[in-house]
Amino acid sequence: MADIIRRNVIMPDYLYLIHPFRHGFFDDPTAEEEAIMDEHFEYLKKGAKGGSVLLAGPCTDDTFGLVIFRAENEQAANAFMFADPSVKKNVMVAELHPLRISIQGK
């Protein structure tokens, strides 16, 4: 159930965590950081509309954000993660993990 079949290819799930690169980001983001995070939000909305992003959001305790998504393989997952504007432009540091969704609600 966690994997979907797209064009006869099983699409595994991945998760990436993002943490601010700069200490103090949550308390006092710069105008440039805010603009980049707007780009990040639009990037993930586009991924959700296209069916690859399943869930994304920040922790409300200002520690990290997460993205759960589907990609054809680990190389494609890394490419998606590193293309995220917040990662690409060094506002966030990211770490990728393969994921098996065992339970998913409606």
pTM of the model: 0.87
Pick the CATH number of 4-99 from 2.40.50.100, 3.30.70.1060, 1.20.1730.10, 3.40.50.2300: 3.30.70.1060
Residue 32 to residues 25, 70, 89, 96, Cα–Cα distance (Å): 11, 29, 10, 25
Q: Which pLDDT score, from 0 to 100, does residue 103 have? A: 86
C-alpha to C-alpha distance for 39 and 87, rounded to whole angstroms: 11
Residue 5 has pLDDT above 70, yes or no: no
Q: Which pLDDT score, from 0 to 100, does residue 48 have? A: 97
Task: Report the mean per-residue pLDDT for the chain.
Answer: 91
Backbone angles phi, psi at 29, to 5 degrees: -70, 145
Averaged pLDDT for residues 31-55: 97
**1-5, 40-44, 45-49: least confidently modelled range:** 1-5
C-alpha to C-alpha distance for 37 and 40, rounded to whole angstroms: 5
Q: Which pLDDT score, from 0 to 100, does residue 10 have? A: 58
Q: How many Cβ atoms from other residues are within 10 Å of residue 39's Cβ?
A: 15
C-alpha to C-alpha distance for 44 and 50, rounded to whole angstroms: 10
Q: What angle do CA 104, 67, 72 make, to 5 degrees?
A: 80
